[in-house]
Amino acid sequence: MPTEIIQKLRDKNTRAISKLISVVENEENNFHDVISNLYPHIGSAYRIGITGPPGAGKSTITDKLIEVFRKKKKSVAIIAIDPSSPFTGGSILGDRIRFVNDLRDPNLFFRSMSTRGAQGGLSKSAKHVADIFDASGFDIIIFETVGVGQVEIDVIEAVDTVIVTLVPESGDDIQMMKSGLIEIADLYVINKSDRDGADNLYASLNKFLQFNKDNEWTPKILKTVALNGLGIKELHDNILMHKDFLNREDISIKKNNDRYIKSVKSFITDKLNKDFWSTKTNIKNTLDLELKLDSKKRMPPFKMAAKILEL
């Protein structure tokens, strides 16, 4: 990659960053080169994931956290993952419109991503976009995601600190445990903690953590009222504590290696599939012929796959 582009990224030139994001999101022809060229320039940003059910106040917490980081002169990039249905491809930014990058603060960059935009899979694209921010010298990258599905878990595996936000109304402890949110956090935030049920939720979480104490890091439970900024400073400080822990324990090196391996494997899977489907021209015909049969008379899918693989 020409030094001048790297320089533009380092200057946090909005146009240069946005252009690279488009290249990656649309998987343009040269996108593999782009991310390969960025590679030597990444690894300095600290990556934070904020997740939780709809209505838990993730956007507000993110906003308030950004204020703290900006006061400490840290630059922040936010990637808001808006999963959207594959059926219509739509994505709604909703209340985050306020955040678009007209704040005239070059050290703050907000990007929303949806399934629609990400040709090669949302979590993959989101990680590439994070690499662009990383190479651009942002100190902090925040992934904000809704839900608990595979996309979120993929994204969250790629961050350093995972924050799960809950509210007293999130449901009882069993409901939460069922949701899968409960086991992935480094930090729990009980937001809107001035409401009824916050203490119960705290007690349930605490009990659960005692019960599941098998890691060196014991997750913290924090109470916030994000709208008023209550508890945000403590959240910030606990993120830094977790960061220190990761450095101290050399776990970050392992994490780094795991990410590298995963990334390599992911590229290989993509290539194997692409090669297979693009070189065999008679595959489609074989499938189409089978589809003309009544479904009960068709070859079982696994046998059909075996037949195509033999072609």
CB atoms inside a 10 Å sphere around CB 233: 13
Within residues 102-161, the interface with a second copy by CB under 8 A covers 146-153, 157
State yes or no: residue 213 binds a second copy (CB under 8 A).
Answer: no
User: Is 146 in contact with 95 (CB distance < 8 Å)?
Assistant: no
Stretch touching a second copy by CB under 8 A, among 16-24, 68-76, 77-85, 216-224: 77-85
State yes or no: residue 95 binds a second copy (CB under 8 A).
Answer: yes
Question: Which of 68, 230, 251, 308 forms a contact with a second copy (CB under 8 A)?
Answer: 308
Within residues 258-277, the interface with a second copy by CB under 8 A covers 260-261, 263-265, 267-269, 271-273, 276
Radius of gyration of the chain (CA): 22
State yes or no: residue 309 binds a second copy (CB under 8 A).
Answer: yes
Residue count (the chain): 311
CB atoms inside a 10 Å sphere around CB 244: 10
User: Is 270 in contact with 278 (CB distance < 8 Å)?
Assistant: no
Q: Which is nearer to a second copy, 68 or 308 (CB)?
A: 308
d(CA 7, CA 13): 9
State yes or no: residue 82 binds a second copy (CB under 8 A).
Answer: yes
Within residues 176-205, the interface with a second copy by CB under 8 A covers 176-180, 182-184
Within residues 35-74, the interface with a second copy by CB under 8 A covers 35-40, 43, 53-55
d(CA 90, CA 263): 28
Stretch touching a second copy by CB under 8 A, among 132-140, 189-197, 199-207, 293-301: 293-301
Beta-strand relationship, 187-190 and 76-82: unpaired
